[in-house]
Amino acid sequence: MRTAWLACKFPDVPPTGVMPGRPSGANISGSPARRTVVASAPGTDRCVLHTADATLTPVRGIRRYGEIDVGERAFTLAAPSGLELTLGDGLVSSLRSVRGIQVVQTSAPMSPGSSGGALLDAKGNLIGILAFDVRGVQSLGFALAAEGFWTLR
C-alpha cells in the first residue's frame, strides 16, 4: 500500500474531512478509499487530500503559470454530468487574477460536473484545476493555476 496526495475542489469533500467514494478530478482505481483533508481553503474552493488505500494516476508534470502562453492548446479532462474521463479541447484564452488567485481562462469545454477536473497542455502537463465557467456563455471557462493550487490560503 502506498501513500498518495491529491488535490480537489473543496465541495467534493464534506467538512468532516473524510470522504468515502471518489472526488472529481482524481483517477482512483479499485474500491472506494478513505481520504483525509490535510489542507483546505473553502473560500477559494480548494483542498489537498491524503489517502493510503487508493491507486492514483499522476499527471506528467505541472506547468508554471508564467510559462503558459495565451493561444496554446488546452485540454479538459473531467466528468461532466458524471461522464468520467471526458476529454475536450480548446485554447488558453487569457491569464488572469481573480481575488488574488492566478487563473487560466480557456475555451475548452466545461459543463456541470467538470469542476475539479484537469486542464492540460498538449504534452499532458497539468496547467490548472477546472474551477468555474460563466453560466449561459459558451467557451468561457476558468481553471485555478496548478502551480498555485497547492498554496492554500
Query: Where are the domains positioned within the chain?
Result: 4-56, 65-149
Confidence of residue 54 (pLDDT cuts 50, 70, 90): low
Sorting pLDDT into bands at 50, 70 and 90, what band is 109? confident
21-49 pLDDT, tens per residue? 334 333 344 445 566 777 777 666 667 77
Q: Over 60: is that where the pLDDT of 50 sits?
A: yes
pTM: 0.73
Asked if residues 38 and 51 have their Cβ atoms less than 8 Å apart, the reply is no
Residue 83's pLDDT is 80
State the residue for C-alpha cell 484564452. Answer: 93
CATH 2.40.10.10 fits 65-149, yes or no: yes
- Assign 150 a pLDDT band (cuts: 50, 70, 90): low
- Residue-wise pLDDT for 88-101, tens only, equals 999 999 999 988 88
In this prediction, residue 14 carries a pLDDT of: 39
Contact 119, 127 (CB under 8 A): yes
